Structure 1
Amino acid sequence: MSRPPLPHDFLRPVPSFTLISTDVPDGGVLPQAQALAGGDVSPQLSWSGFPAETKSFAVTCFDPDAPTGCGWWHWVLFDIPADVTELATGAGSGDFPGLPAGAIHARNDYGTKNFGGAAPPAGHGPHRYVFTVHAVSVEKLGLDAETSPAAVSGTLGFLAVGRASIAATYENAE
C-alpha cells in the first residue's frame, strides 16, 4: 500500500535536502507540546544540504487531513535569512525566542501569526502534520504578515529551489 499524497507532491519538483527535529519524530507521533492543548510550542527544526542558490528559507506546517476540503495551515513563516539553518524549540511561539530578525509570520488558519498546535476533531482519526523547510531563490518573498497561507504556499511553489519535509501524526481520540 502506498502512502497518501503529501501537500508538496503536487508542487513543481525541486531537489530535497536534510531536515531533522529533536522534537518531531519523522514518521512517529507528534508530541503533546506541539498540540493546541499542549501549549502550541513550535518544534526545533534544523536543516542542511540545501541548494547553493538559496537566498532565504520558509517554514510551514500543514495538516492535509483536516476535514475542510483544503487542509489546515498551522505555521507559515518566511523571509528567514539564508545563514539561518535552525529554529530552536519555541521560536515560533509565545514571545518568539530566537526567531531570526526579518522573519515574517503570516497568519495561520487559526487566524494568528505564530505556530498553532495540532487539534484534530475528536474521533476523526490520526492527522498528519507536515513540517517543511523551503529553500527559496529570493531574499524576500515580497509578501506581508496579512498574506493568506495559500498565497504564501503558491508563491513558494514558484520560488522554491529545494524542499525538505518531516511528518508526524496526532490524534484526539476523545
Structure 2
Amino acid sequence: MRRTSLIAGLALVGAMASAAGAAPFRLSSSTIAEGVQMGRDQVFAGFGCSGGNLSPQLSWSDAPEGTKSFALSAYDPDAPTGSGWWHWSVVNIPADVTALEPGASGTAAMPAGAREIVNDYGVSSFGGACPPPGEVHRYVFTIHALPVETLELPETASPALVGFMVNAAELGRARITAVYTR
C-alpha cells in the first residue's frame, strides 16, 4: 500500500513540475500596454470622442494544451452603467491564429471563421475608448483559450452571454489592461 501511495505521489509531483515548467499563456501588443494610456487610434469616433476607432494589434502565445479556438474581449469595468461596457467580443478564432493586426476588426483581416459580436455601441466590431471627461477608465483585453472549435451562440448573443459561455469553458486566459482618460 505504501509503495502504491509513494508511486502515485511521485507521479503527482512530476505532473505538477511539468505544469509549473510550461510557459504561461501570454497576450502582448505593439499598440497597447499594461497600465499605459491608449493612443488616439484606439479611441472611439463619436459620443464626444474623436479617435481612429481601430482595434489594437494583439498577439498571444503558449496557449494551453487542448486549445481548439480562441475568444477575445475588450471590456471597461469602470463605465458608469452598473455593468461595465463591452467594447469588443470575438469568438471562434481558429487555434492556429496567434495574432490580429492593428485595425483588423470589421475587415477582411479578421481570421476566417471568427465572429464579432454586437458590442455595447450596437455594432459588430471594435468600439474604442470614450470615458466621461476627467475619468480614467481601464480597458481589459482578454484572450481566452477554448476546448471547442466553434462556440455555438444565437445570432442575437450579447457580450454578457458570450462572457458566460467563454468563462464556463475556458482552458486559460491572458490579459492586458490599458487605460484611457480625456
Secondary structure in structure 2 of the residue aligned to 1:108: coil
Secondary structure in structure 1 of the residue aligned to 2:168: helix
- The reply to whether residue 112 of structure 1 matches residue 120 of structure 2 is no
Deviation at 1:109, TM superposition (A): 0.3
Residue segments in structure 2 that go unaligned for 5+ positions in a row: 1-22, 45-49
Letter in 2 for 1:85: T
Whose relative contact order is higher, 1 or 2, with alpha carbons under 8 Å and at least 6 apart?
1
Conserved 8 A contact 1:104-1:145:
no
Deviation at 1:146, TM superposition (A): 2.2
Q: What corresponds to 1:20 in structure 2?
A: 28
Secondary structure in structure 1 of the residue aligned to 2:171: strand
CA RMSD of aligned residues (A): 1.3
Cα distance in 2 between the residues matched to 1:112 and 1:16: 33
Identity level (%): 50
Cα distance in 2 between the residues matched to 1:144 and 1:98: 24
Conserved 8 A contact 1:19-1:48:
yes
Aligned residues: 155
Letter in 1 for 2:32: V
More helix by proportion, 1 or 2?
2
> After the TM superposition, which parts of structure 1 deviate over 6 Å for at least 4 consecutive aligned residues?
none
- The reply to whether residue 142 of structure 1 matches residue 155 of structure 2 is no
User: Deviation string for 1:119-146 (max 9, x for gaps)?
Assistant: 00123x1000000100011111101442
Q: What corresponds to 1:11 in structure 2?
A: none
1:26–1:137 Cα change, 3 Å? same
Cα distance in 1 between the residues matched to 2:103 and 2:87: 14
Residue segments in structure 1 that go unaligned for 5+ positions in a row: 1-14
Deviation at 1:25, TM superposition (A): 1.5
Cα distance in 2 between the residues matched to 1:171 and 1:146: 31
TM normalised by structure 1 equals: 0.86
- Please tell me whether Structure 1 or Structure 2 has the larger radius of gyration of its CA atoms: 2
